[in-house]
């Protein structure tokens, strides 16, 4: 999808008011909206040279890579809700994976609902919202998921079992000598390809959402993807310890991983298991990468590439042993930083943007790129100025929360607070990390007198963000 020069005049005109003008007789751009569950920026084009992700890299050369993109809450359901509404989470809204937009924010128009209102065909395949039946009115057809989406393991010996009336999961990872097409993500891609074939025949613009399950647990993928990552070349987290001088109030559990039968119910995992988990995570990423390649090929084949905006996003990061944690559910860098790539007609590709951005910024960005008026409720800020000029000013800090914890991340620092009563009560502890000197967030500086002014300045910014969040 070579879009660099396709709409150059439009791009230049777009510098006025930061909105790409669309002539009355011009077809409105389509949107291919690709979500990848639990994907941290473990991508070759994001600097991870060991990763085999040729198709994500291909998309990156066609679009803008946002290398400092952050989710607003590191759990699936709530993170997706924030993105789809452009509303930040609070102690009373978008709190956990069970979040529903139609319950927590029934008064707002979601991103797909807005596009449907403006004449777009809106379709959802796979995991977009956590609940398949959430925000149903936003879609032109009922959201679709594979019938076998709950089937993760291919090998008979790895199937879940019932014991004493309780379901016991299979192992946390599996390499199987099986074809790609037995896995739900392949079938989600197939369904999306069929949609593209049909939509290409229609003059109506589309908003087509495709949500992949992997690399969410369990890490299952065909053997050929595991073979890309030799066991003796798998690194373990160098900082597998809790940050120094940080209150234990910031310690989180990783019960999601412990639900699998090969993972101990308490204590750390063995080095051998940790290495297999990292390997399985990488294999799962490469498996999803192959599906994304099929989508990009279809855009080219159908003549849709030059008139389709492609957005690739992860709902949150994932801890692979950093700080002794696995899974998400923290406000640390590895849990909140996400991959974000946007390729759009008229926008030069193969560029990095290092400005701080949030996933709530995606909604207003797509409004600007399609000339759809932005609703008044949006708390995100359009990325269009950054798509046109990657060095443009954007935000001083980005915000994330989990449980009773709130955090802001500036260019150099991360400041964290932990409050009682799920964020409603008294202040229990603070954290401050200098990511320039300590990118792994291994030493808390919040009680260091030399950083008192930094801490107070970031606290003021956090208070300001919280004050501006609608309750």
Active centre residues (catalytic): 76, 130
The set of residues, in sequence order, having a beta carbon less than 8 Å from that of 19 and lying 6+ positions away, is 368, 371, 384
SS3 label, residue 208:
strand
Within 10 A of 322 (CB to CB), how many other CB atoms are there? Answer: 23
Contacts of residues 453-461 at CB distance under 8 Å and 24 or more positions apart, as own/partner, are: 454/413, 455/415, 455/430, 458/397, 458/408, 458/410, 458/413, 458/415, 458/432, 459/415, 459/417, 459/430, 461/396, 461/397, 461/408, 461/410, 461/415
Closest CA to 50 of 316, 337, 287, 282: 282
Contacts of residues 460-468 at CB distance under 8 Å and 24 or more positions apart, as own/partner, are: 461/396, 461/397, 461/408, 461/410, 461/415, 462/397, 462/399, 462/406, 462/407, 462/408, 462/415, 462/417, 465/88, 465/397, 465/399, 465/408, 466/406, 468/379
């Amino acid at each position: 999808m070579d879009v660099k020069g396709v709409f150059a005049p439009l791009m230049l005109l777009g510098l006025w008011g930061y909105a790409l003008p669309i002539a009355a007789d011009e077809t409105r751009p389509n949107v291919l909206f690709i979500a990848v569950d639990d994907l941290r920026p473990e991508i070759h084009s994001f600097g991870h040279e060991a990763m085999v992700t040729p198709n994500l890299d291909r998309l990156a050369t066609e679009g803008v890579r946002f290398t400092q993109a952050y989710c607003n809450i590191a759990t699936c359901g709530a993170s997706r809700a924030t993105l789809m509404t452009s509303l930040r989470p609070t102690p009373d809204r978008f709190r956990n994976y069970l979040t529903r937009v139609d319950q927590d924010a029934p008064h707002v128009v979601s991103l797909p609902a807005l596009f449907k209102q403006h004449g777009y065909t809106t379709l959802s395949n796979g995991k977009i919202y956590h609940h398949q039946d959430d925000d149903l009115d936003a879609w032109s057809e009922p959201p679709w998921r594979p019938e076998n989406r709950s089937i993760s393991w291919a090998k008979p010996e790895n199937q879940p079992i019932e014991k004493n009336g309780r379901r016991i999961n299979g192992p946390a990872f599996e390499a199987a000598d099986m074809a790609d097409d037995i896995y739900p993500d392949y079938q989600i891609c197939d369904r999306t390809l069929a949609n593209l074939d049909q939509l290409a025949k229609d003059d109506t613009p589309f908003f087509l959402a495709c949500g992949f399950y992997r690399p969410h647990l369990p890490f299952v993928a065909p053997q050929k993807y595991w073979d890309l990552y030799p066991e003796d070349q798998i690194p373990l987290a160098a900082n597998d310890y809790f940050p120094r001088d940080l209150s234990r109030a910031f310690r989180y559990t990783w019960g999601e991983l412990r639900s699998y039968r090969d993972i101990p119910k308490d204590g750390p995992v063995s080095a051998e298991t940790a290495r297999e988990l990292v390997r399985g995570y990488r294999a799962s990423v490469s498996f999803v990468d192959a599906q994304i390649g099929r989508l990009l090929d279809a855009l080219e084949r159908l003549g849709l590439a030059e008139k389709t905006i492609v957005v690739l996003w992860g709902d949150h990061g994932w801890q692979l042993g950093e700080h002794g944690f696995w899974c998400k559910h923290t406000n640390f860098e590895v849990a909140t930083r996400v991959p974000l790539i946007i390729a759009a007609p008229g926008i030069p590709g193969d560029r990095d943007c290092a400005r701080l951005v949030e996933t709530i910024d995606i909604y207003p960005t797509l409004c600007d790129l399609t000339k759809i008026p932005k609703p008044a409720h949006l708390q995100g800020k359009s990325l269009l100025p950054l798509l046109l000029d990657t060095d443009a000013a954007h935000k001083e800090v980005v915000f994330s929360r989990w449980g009773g914890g709130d955090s802001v991340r500036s260019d150099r620092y991360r400041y964290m607070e932990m409050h009682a009563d799920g964020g409603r009560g008294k202040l229990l502890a603070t954290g401050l990390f200098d990511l320039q000197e300590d990118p792994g967030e291994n030493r808390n500086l919040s009680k260091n007198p030399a950083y008192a002014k930094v801490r107070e300045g970031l606290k003021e910014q956090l208070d300001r963000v919280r004050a501006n969040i609608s309750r």
